[in-house]
Structure formats: C-alpha cells, structure tokens
Chains A and B, each alone.
Chain A
C-alpha cells in the first residue's frame, strides 16, 4: 500500500444543497499515489457529490478538498491540472472521430505537442479497435466510449484520476478490460478515486473501500482487511441498518 502524501484529500467536507438536503456530512478521506480508493453506496449517498466537489463544480458548505496539496476552492484551475475525470457516460463530440476527441481533450489537459501516433498508442493501450480510431464516435458503443474516456484520462497524465461509476452499464468483458487498465494506471502511481455500485469489482481493484450512507463515510476497509471479510455482506448489512433507522 502507498505511504506517501495523499494526492486527493477531503478534509471535513460537508455539502448542503439549496433545498436543504445534506449531501455530504463531514467527510474525511485521502487517496495516495498508487492507490485505488473505491466509494460504495446507494444512489444519493454522496459519492457523485464528492467527485463534484473535487472538480469544483460546486463549492463545499464547509471543509476543503485538496488535489496535490492545492485547495480546490481557492485555486480550482491550478488544482485541475493534477486531475483527470471519467464520468459514468463518457461525453464526447459525436461528429468528431475518436482521435479528434482525444486531440481536443488532450489540448485542454495541456498536452499540445502530441503527434498522431501518440494518440494511436493510447487508444491501442485501452484496446480500442484500430478501425475505430478515425471513425466518428456518434455510433460508438458504451464500452468504446468508456475506453476513449480512459484514453483522455491517460493522455492527460495527471497524478489523480476521478471515476464516477465507470463500469456502470458495461458488459462483463468490457468491465474486466476496464479494470485491467485501472490496475496498470495504479501501478504507474496514479491516485484513483472511483465511485461505484459494483461491490465485486470494488473488492477486486480497490486498495481501500469506503461505504457511504446519507453523506457519511460509515465504513472503510483495506484490501488486507477484506481478505478475511465478506464485503457484499458488510455492504448489505449497512444498507439494511440504514433502512431500519429510517
């Protein structure tokens, strides 16, 4: 397990929306280089809100997000240099080819001197079919879009990657391929924060797994701890206890 300074850090993070809903309640977590942190939880548990706060899409009510030691609220543009984002439904420009999409987002990520071959290499690395490289993405399957989304994150070469339910809706083969790429990125030293519903894959890939409920991190286990525990049972138990509480 990684021991260096965290790349992603949520410090006493709370978020209350205008309608009064408390989406995050004093969340503390950190993700270090070479670590995959999986956030599990039901819909509305606060997983996506956490990611939105790291991306400064919304300002926190209290607390602070740090990316590579930079306060996201104070210097969002500088902080975004160090993070790549892959959403559940990777949003791309349908009339652009895969390479054109990659080129555009690479430039936004600060990579301005890349050659055609560099893009092809990244797309090969995520196992996107060669024939798709110069095809318009509007007819791409979800799996292909997801691979291209990962290519965008890879080409940005940021030390942190935020993934918002990336395997949702993928077929088992595509999901497995996706996790293989995650493992590679982890081995390259990337700090990965992934929100997911997929308990099985969270256990497989996560160095740490946190369970969120009603905006709070109610449980956290390391990979080692989970060797001796049934994550599925723990998760179900937490959800049931939440239902009983309500």
Chain B
C-alpha cells in the first residue's frame, strides 16, 4: 500500500509541468556552477603557484643585511581550497598570504578586492544554488502534497479505503521528495562528470568522501525543506494559502535569519574593531620600545661614562663584558614584557570576538540554511574551520620564523639621558635555504563533524520537527 502511494506521488509529479521544468533548471544550473567555479579555481591555483615561485626566488636571494635593515618580509601563501568549486565560503575573504616580519605578521590582500558589487548577493556555486533555488523548489514541490489532495477531494477518496493515514503521509513525502531528488542527483552527477572531464583532481586523498558528504548534506537539506513544506501543506486547507506561507517561511530562513544573526550578535556582544586593536598594539609596542631604549641608553652611559675611550668597542674590556650581560638581560626582559602585554591584548580581543561569533552562529542555526552552508563550507575547506586553521598556521609560522630567522638578528636602539640616540646591530648566521615552509594543517572529516555538531543538530531538528508537526496535523485532520 505504501509503495502504491509512493509510486502514485512520483508519477503525479513526473506528469506535472514542474518536474521537467525543475529538471531543466537543475541540469542547467548545477553543472554550470561547477564548470564556472572549476575555471575560477584553476586560475586561482595558477596565480598561487606563480606567487609561491616568485616568493621562493626572493627568499633564496636574501642576505642577513636585508634582515638587519628590517626590509625583509617572508610571505606564507594559502593554497586555494580544491572543493571551493562547490562553495566559495571564506575563499574570497581570507588573505591570499601573510607577511612575516620581525614585528610579527600581517595579512596580505584577499581576492575579494577584485570582485564586482554583484558578488555581495552570493557566489554562483553549488551551495548557493541549493540554498537559494532548490530550497524554494523543494518547498514549492511540497506545497500541494497534502493541501492539493484536500482541495481536490482526492484525500477523501483515498481515505475511504483501507489505508492508514501514516502510510499516506510517509508515502506522499517519500514519493514527492523522490521526484525532487532524482533530477537533483542527476544534475549533481553531470556536474561531477564535468569536473572529471576537466581533469579536476577529485580522486586524491579524502576528496571523494568529502564530495559524497556534500551531496548527502545537500540531500538532507532538501529533505528538511520538503518536510517543512509538507508541514505547511498539512496545516493549510488550500494550496494557495500554503504557497503564501511557504514564501514567507523561505524568506525568513533564507534571507532574514542568516543576515540578522550577525547584526544581533554585534549589538548584544559588541567588540572593538581589528583596526582599533592593531592601533593599540602598535602604540603599546612603540611605547615599550622607547622605554627599553631609554633604559639601555641610561645603563650604557652609566657603564661607559667614566670608562676609558674604546672600552665600548673592545669585546674583552670589563665594561663591555658587563654591558653585554646587562643589555641581554634588559632586551630579554623587554621582549618578554612586550610579548606578554601584546599577547594579552590579542587574546582578550580573540576571546571577545570568538564569543560574538559563537553567538552569531548559534542565532543563525535557527535557520537550516545557515546550518547547511556552515557545514558544507567546512567540508570543502572554505569555512570557519579553515579560517581557524589558517590563523593557527600563521601563529605557528611566526614562532618558527622567529626561532630560525628574526631572533638571530638584533637591533638595539638607545636613547641617552642627554637626548642623543644610537642604533646598534648584531646578527648570527642564517641559512635562508632551510627556513621553515608555511603550511596549513588540513582539517580532517572527523574534525569537520566534530566542529559542526550544532549545525548537524540543527539540520536533524529541521528534518524531524516539521515532519512530526505534519504528522500530528494530518492524523488529526477532519477529512470531511
């Protein structure tokens, strides 16, 4: 009996005008999106490889004097994410590289500067299509799943038979969704075939598994929207009423919630801007540097003020030995103090920012659309997790470069009590060919699932809750 309902629902959809229409839309848009993003990815990878090559050449010709002069900036590049063909996520916002200097690291340009104003409406990629187009189609497919039968009176005819209502509901949901899912799957496979034909490297590492997860997540997302539509349909006496309600629900979940959540989080938990923090840090660093320079100048004058001429240049003179020890101590202490105070500012900012972002994420997860987008972006390496991993890699590379390069070169600025200034340099040998390479540890699929438990929970909720509500409404429906 259940199979009969599923088959009838499937056949009814196939015979309606919307099935070929949706099939055509899916077949055009999904492969086209993948093709366009594949071209874009290839271009970005070419740019990345060229930039890495040029930076490598520049690094190999470096001399210790360049570091002493403070003109050296080592660049660490981020390779474009392979699966950004499915969702661009933060791909355009993340810096293409970071510059590492003795003063720390700073982000390079991002590719968003090259984009047109139209890109603010969202990138034309697979996730955008599923979120904005297919979700609406899913809801529209579901709009008459119950209301249509009520309105046409066929529900009475059906229920005059030996037919349990739960079988009717589950059969109609299964058949209706199958009619939506089949063309979607076909379009996804055509898109995948285009990638393979374009020699896109999809068979390496865990990429096939990630593509499968993307497909399954999109299927679950569409099913969630279909059950949401079924719930609305089961609660409406007429298809037209269901359609109006569906459009409102879609606009709320797709357009309002994801955009409102960031704004609400910023109002509830305000955080200073990154520019303000950067300015504060640079002012503090300058002030600490001046303080150290004054202390060094004062100590220098105390030690060498009454010393014989040339004692400062004689490495074996007792004054020079005393000065070297004192200077090392002052510089070490200043370095620790600077690291501690700047680190505290950075850490406080990061914590506050994290709290604000967590709040925004939690608010946005009210929408299944936001949950889906977050999860798939992380699966594709273009999401929040990638940004965290990128930042971690930058911090780790900062430390590695400090140990291998920047700490080997010391510049000593002194401000003497009389007002004069002097600058001294010291350097240890550095092998520029063996400098540490910048790498970002990729997040495994297990990491992705672990980091996205809230998104997955939200998707599961939107899958189960509307169906349960539809079930209750349908079981209690007065079929007269």
A195 to chain B, nearest CB (A): 14
Which A residue's beta carbon lies closest to that of B154? A91
Q: Which residues of the other chain, A, contact B8 by a CB distance below 8 angstroms? A: 93, 104
B480's partner among A57, A81, A104 (CB-CB below 8 A) is A57
Give the interface segment out of A82-90, A173-181, A231-239.
A82-90
Instruction: Tell me, in angstroms, the Cα distance from A107 to B162 when the chains sit together.
Output: 10
Q: Which residues of the other chain, A, contact B15 by a CB distance below 8 angstroms? A: 95-96
Instruction: Tell me, in angstroms, the Cα distance from A156 to B163 when the chains sit together.
Output: 14
Instruction: Tell me, in angstroms, the Cα distance from A81 to B162 when the chains sit together.
Output: 6
B478 adjacent to A58 (CB under 8 Å)? yes
A85 adjacent to B480 (CB under 8 Å)? no
Q: Is A105 an interface residue (CB 8 A)?
A: yes
Q: Which residues of the other chain, A, contact B158 by a CB distance below 8 angstroms? A: 108
Q: Which residues of the other chain, A, contact B4 by a CB distance below 8 angstroms? A: 104, 107-108
A232 to chain B, nearest CB (A): 30
B174 to chain A, nearest CB (A): 16
B161 adjacent to A105 (CB under 8 Å)? yes
Q: List CB contacts (< 8 Å) of A115-163 with chain B.
A: 152, 156, 162
What are 13 of the A-B contact pairs (CB < 8 Å)?
A: A55-B159, A57-B156, A57-B480, A58-B480, A80-B162, A85-B156, A87-B153, A91-B152, A91-B154, A93-B154, A95-B16, A96-B12, A156-B161
Instruction: Tell me, in angstroms, the Cα distance from A93 to B172 when the chains sit together.
Output: 14
B479's partner among A57, A81, A108 (CB-CB below 8 A) is A57
Instruction: Tell me, in angstroms, the Cα distance from A143 to B156 when the chains sit together.
Output: 20
Task: List the 4 closest A-B pairs by CB distance, nearest first.
Answer: A91-B153, A85-B160, A95-B15, A108-B161
B121 to chain A, nearest CB (A): 36
Instruction: Tell me, in angstroms, the Cα distance from A91 to B157 when the chains sit together.
Output: 7
Instruction: Tell me, in angstroms, the Cα distance from A77 to B163 when the chains sit together.
Output: 7
B157 adjacent to A105 (CB under 8 Å)? yes
B11 adjacent to A78 (CB under 8 Å)? no
Q: Is B62 an interface residue (CB 8 A)?
A: no
Please judge, given known A-B contacts A77-B164, A87-B157, A96-B15, whether A108 and B480 are in contact too, CB under 8 Å. no
Q: Is B216 an interface residue (CB 8 A)?
A: no
A102 to chain B, nearest CB (A): 12
B153 adjacent to A95 (CB under 8 Å)? no
Q: Which residues of the other chain, A, contact B11 by a CB distance below 8 angstroms? A: 96, 100
Q: Is B1 an interface residue (CB 8 A)?
A: yes
Q: A residues engaging B (CB < 8 A)?
A: 52, 55, 57-58, 77-78, 80-81, 83-85, 87, 89-96, 100, 104-105, 107-110, 152, 156, 162
Which A residue's beta carbon lies closest to that of B160? A85
B244 to chain A, nearest CB (A): 23
Categorize the interface residue count of chain B. 20 to 34
Interface centre among B152, B162, B479 (most CB of A within 10 A): B162
B161's partner among A100, A109, A162 (CB-CB below 8 A) is A109
Instruction: Tell me, in angstroms, the Cα distance from A174 to B405 when the chains sit together.
Output: 99
Q: List CB contacts (< 8 Å) of B145-173 with chain A.
A: 152-154, 156-164
A83 adjacent to B160 (CB under 8 Å)? yes
A55 adjacent to B160 (CB under 8 Å)? yes
Q: A83-B160, A93-B152, A108-B162 are in contact. List 19 more A-B contacts (CB 8 A).
A: A52-B480, A57-B156, A57-B479, A58-B478, A78-B162, A81-B162, A84-B160, A91-B154, A92-B157, A93-B8, A95-B15, A96-B15, A104-B8, A105-B161, A107-B4, A108-B158, A108-B163, A110-B162, A156-B161
Instruction: Tell me, in angstroms, the Cα distance from A89 to B153 when the chains sit together.
Output: 9
Which B residue's beta carbon lies closest to that of A162? B160
Q: Which residues of the other chain, B, contact A58 by a CB distance below 8 angstroms? A: 478, 480
A14 to chain B, nearest CB (A): 17
Mask of B1-27 contacts with A, CB within 8 angstroms, 1/0? 100100010011001100000000000
B154 adjacent to A92 (CB under 8 Å)? yes
Which B residue's beta carbon lies closest to that of A54? B160
B156's partner among A91, A105, A109 (CB-CB below 8 A) is A91
Which A residue's beta carbon lies closest to that of B479? A57
A24 to chain B, nearest CB (A): 13
Instruction: Tell me, in angstroms, the Cα distance from A93 to B4 when the chains sit together.
Output: 14
B18 to chain A, nearest CB (A): 11
Which B residue's beta carbon lies closest to that of A51? B160
B90 to chain A, nearest CB (A): 46
Q: Which residues of the other chain, B, contact A108 by a CB distance below 8 angstroms? A: 1, 4, 158, 161-163
Q: Which residues of the other chain, A, contact B161 by a CB distance below 8 angstroms? A: 80, 105, 108-109, 156
Q: Which residues of the other chain, A, contact B154 by a CB distance below 8 angstroms? A: 91-93
Q: Which residues of the other chain, A, contact B480 by a CB distance below 8 angstroms? A: 52, 57-58
Instruction: Tell me, in angstroms, the Cα distance from A55 to B1 when the chains sit together.
Output: 19
Which A residue's beta carbon lies closest to that of B5? A108
B176 to chain A, nearest CB (A): 14
Instruction: Tell me, in angstroms, the Cα distance from A104 to B9 when the chains sit together.
Output: 10
Q: Which residues of the other chain, A, contact B156 by a CB distance below 8 angstroms? A: 57, 85, 87, 91
Q: Which residues of the other chain, A, contact B162 by a CB distance below 8 angstroms? A: 77-78, 80-81, 108-110
Instruction: Tell me, in angstroms, the Cα distance from A58 to B16 when the chains sit together.
Output: 33
Q: Which residues of the other chain, B, contact A93 by a CB distance below 8 angstroms? A: 8, 12, 152, 154
A80's partner among B153, B157, B160, B478 (CB-CB below 8 A) is B160
Instruction: Tell me, in angstroms, the Cα distance from A90 to B480 when the chains sit together.
Output: 14
Q: Which residues of the other chain, B, contact A100 by a CB distance below 8 angstroms? A: 11
Instruction: Tell me, in angstroms, the Cα distance from A152 to B152 when the chains sit together.
Output: 17
B477 to chain A, nearest CB (A): 10
Which A residue's beta carbon lies closest to that of B152? A91
Q: Which residues of the other chain, B, contact A110 by a CB distance below 8 angstroms? A: 162
Which B residue's beta carbon lies closest to that of A18? B478
Q: Which residues of the other chain, A, contact B12 by a CB distance below 8 angstroms? A: 93, 95-96
Q: Which residues of the other chain, B, contact A84 by a CB distance below 8 angstroms? A: 160
A57 adjacent to B159 (CB under 8 Å)? yes
A163 to chain B, nearest CB (A): 12
Instruction: Tell me, in angstroms, the Cα distance from A198 to B152 when the chains sit together.
Output: 25
A129 to chain B, nearest CB (A): 22
